Chains A and B, each alone.
Chain A
Amino acid sequence: MKAVIISDGDAKTELSENLKAGIVAALGAGGNDVRTVELEKDRVAPCLGCFRCATSHGAECTNKDAVSEIKRDAKRLDLTLFVTPVVFGHFSSTVKNAVDRGTFSRHWDVVIGYGSDVDEEERSTFLDLTAKHCGAADIVHPGMVDRVDVFVTTSAAESAEICDRLRQDLLAGAQS
């Protein structure tokens, strides 16, 4: 399985680093090809809304940066993992720029929000917001991913549970 982990390099915390280490261990255990990309806010351009990706052959993006590199490989990805701080129940701007520009895998996306001070409403907003990406709203949606899983972690114990769940899902996927 070819996977990429996209995270916010400007919002590293003990929680996020432990979480990423756990994810890499969970993915690496199955001999998967895992790439980690840490995006920095000053080095990632947002979507300009020019629609070049929707209208040009090859879905080219006007911006050329780390996100366009991920996007170029997106077709070959089996799994994209977004690891983002939860900001007002939303992705951080850096990770949202990657989402807006279509770095999803189209097969399986996992979105994990983290933050030690995330309250219940923010957690719920984040979960609902992301659940819609898998088409729950039955409308025109940009992702059209076969499967999307979303989690929020506020502690090391929750992160460990998420990594266990990922490990089990990967195992189940490999067996089927």
Chain B
Amino acid sequence: MKTICLINGSLRGKKASSLKLLSDIESRLPDSEYAKTTVRVKARPQGGYPPATLRQLATADALVLVFPLYSYALPGALMRLLEDYHAHATSGNEHNREAKVYAIVNCGFPRPVVFDECIRVLKNFCRRLSLDWRFAICISAGPVVVAMERVPLVNPRLKKGLKAIASDLEGGDRPPARDYFVRPVLPAPFCLVAKRWVERKMEMR
């Protein structure tokens, strides 16, 4: 039985799109084949994450990071977990060097170009720890995409991406797949109006 560690990188609790995406990927992994553990980032892990939490990451066969994009990059809270895990793994503690790593990232921005550096950061993290980076699902306008997930024939790319993670976990030594970019089902003028609204708000501050 494979051990999968699902990491919820959002601090928004039940309102988070990340939580819904995490539940979706979890439901695609049968309990008979996978032992699943979930780690949720904390706002203030005083003194760092406990060794038991870090061992959950270190012993997993696969890590699935689900998080929102903050300023083109990882949220600070998730970064703290990765820093603590890196320190744990490089200070003499064993970690599974063959663990596969996947990411499901969502953001409010409509263009997929925003995800590039975030993925590069995760690849650098995997390289530092000799982990097996696989691929990412990058979701533009995350809340909209998640809200429409159950609507038939909408967002087939998201479903394909989630299925690909489940399938890749089963597979052997296949090369990493390409990243999946899920675009919003929103007309361009709507995105432009939203952009102007945000800019106006920022100028008023």
Contacts and interface: CB of A to CB of B under 8 A. Distances in A.
Interface of A: 41-42, 45-50, 54, 59, 75, 87-94, 96-97, 99-100, 121-122, 125, 128-129, 132-133, 137, 139-144
A41 B12 contact: no
Contacts of B184: none
Contacts of A92: 79, 83
A46 B202 contact: no
Nearest to B120: A125
Most B CB within 10 A of own CB, among A75, A94, A140, A144: A140
Contacts of A46: 11, 43, 75-77, 80
Interface stretch (B32-40, B58-66, B103-111): B103-111
In the complex, which range does the number of interface residues on chain B fall in?
A: 35 or more
A132 to B, nearest CB: 5
Interface of B: 10-12, 16, 43-44, 46-47, 68, 70-77, 79-80, 82-83, 86, 108-111, 113-114, 116-117, 120-122, 124-125, 127-128, 194-195, 198-199, 201-203, 205
29 contacts: A42-B47, A45-B43, A45-B44, A46-B75, A47-B75, A47-B77, A48-B12, A49-B10, A49-B11, A49-B12, A49-B75, A59-B205, A75-B205, A88-B82, A88-B86, A89-B124, A90-B79, A90-B121, A91-B79, A96-B70, A96-B76, A100-B76, A122-B124, A125-B117, A132-B114, A132-B117, A133-B72, A141-B109, A144-B202
A98 B113 CA distance: 24
Given A41-B80, A42-B44, A91-B79, A132 B72 contact: yes
